[in-house]
Amino acid sequence: MTPAVSPEDPARLTEMGRRYRLWSPGEEPTLVSHGAENTTFAVGDYIVRCSADLEAVNREVELLNILAQATSVPTPTPELHESELGIFAYRRLRGTPLIHRRQRDSKKIQRALIDALSGFRQSLPASRLPADRYPNEEWHEDAVQTYRSVQSHLNIDQVRLVRAFLDEPPPHTRSVALAQHNDLGAEHILVDDQGEVTGIIDWTDAALTDPARDIGSIYRDIGPEAAVCVGEALSGPLTEDEVRRIRFHARCRWLEDVAFGIRDPLTRKPYLDNAWITFDHTFGDAS
């Protein structure tokens, strides 16, 4: 792998932007995030992603270019791609992440998600996506460990319901694998002031995996009715087993977000706020 641009090397991005005529010389890159796999900068109206995993970057750029033609829902469109450096840039989409909004127009969001996810499934060759085969048994084990780390932040009723969920065996892992966004949380759905979806972002984790992953995130952040509506629009009537798997992934991801928020409660407060307002419908029917 060729090293990606590091947070200490914004000059290269400044020069690159000038060469592609995306931003003016006076607009300097600002570091947004720096993780083990990706570094993200903001420059003017653009978001710049850098990664040492060249294959993953090339795959994501291909995916985003296909999505631009496959759905009417805005998605990031690469305007700069340096394949040998693991860098691409796209114009920032308008709108506010749904995670910041308490009022969520379920019908409008459902329509947009059906449009985007059906276009994604139908247009991208399956061979171009990696397979994510993480089994439900390991999801369950992770959830048990995560619960132990967040238990002290839950009230008595929340503890009771989460424990009831974790005491149940996980649903079996499906062999069926379809193209999934694979991280379809409210933080990656952008909306305007009228609640219309203005974009779906961060397709980095897209993979072939159980469709309960994406629908589970919808269940957690939008609600069970929205999840069933989107799931049935994409795949037809849902069986009791499929609903159970969707609920399972919604609850595992709820615990993940609480743990994520607790690790940095000041900058990640929206994740905790979202967790508290979505708890009742995510765990409410646990026995």
Q: How would residue 286 be classed by pLDDT, with cut points 50, 70 and 90?
A: very low
Q: Write down the pLDDT at residue 178.
A: 92
| pLDDT at residue 2 is higher than 80 | no
Q: Write down the pLDDT at residue 1.
A: 46
**Pick from 1-10, 69-78, 84-93, 242-251: least confident:** 1-10
Burial class of residue 170, CB neighbours in 10 A (0-12, 13-18, 19+): buried
CA–CA separation, 170 vs 219, rounded Å? 17
CATH number assigned to the domain with residue range 96-283, chosen from the 4 options 3.40.50.720, 3.40.190.10, 3.90.1200.10, 3.50.50.60: 3.90.1200.10
Q: How would residue 34 be classed by pLDDT, with cut points 50, 70 and 90?
A: confident
CA–CA separation, 129 vs 207, rounded Å? 5
Q: pLDDT, tens digit, for every residue of 171-211?
A: 999 888 999 999 999 999 999 999 999 999 999 999 999 99
Instruction: Express as a percent the part of the chain with pLDDT over 70.
Output: 94
Overall CATH class of domain 10-91: alpha beta
Domain ranges of the chain: 10-91, 96-283
Q: Which of 1-5, 6-10, 16-20, 268-272 has the highest mean pLDDT?
A: 268-272
Instruction: Express as a percent the part of the chain with pLDDT over 90.
Output: 73
Q: pLDDT, tens digit, for every residue of 75-129?
A: 999 999 999 989 999 999 999 999 999 988 899 999 999 999 999 998 877 678 9
266 versus 287: which is more confidently predicted? 266
Of 217, 201, 202, nearest to 94 (Cα)? 201
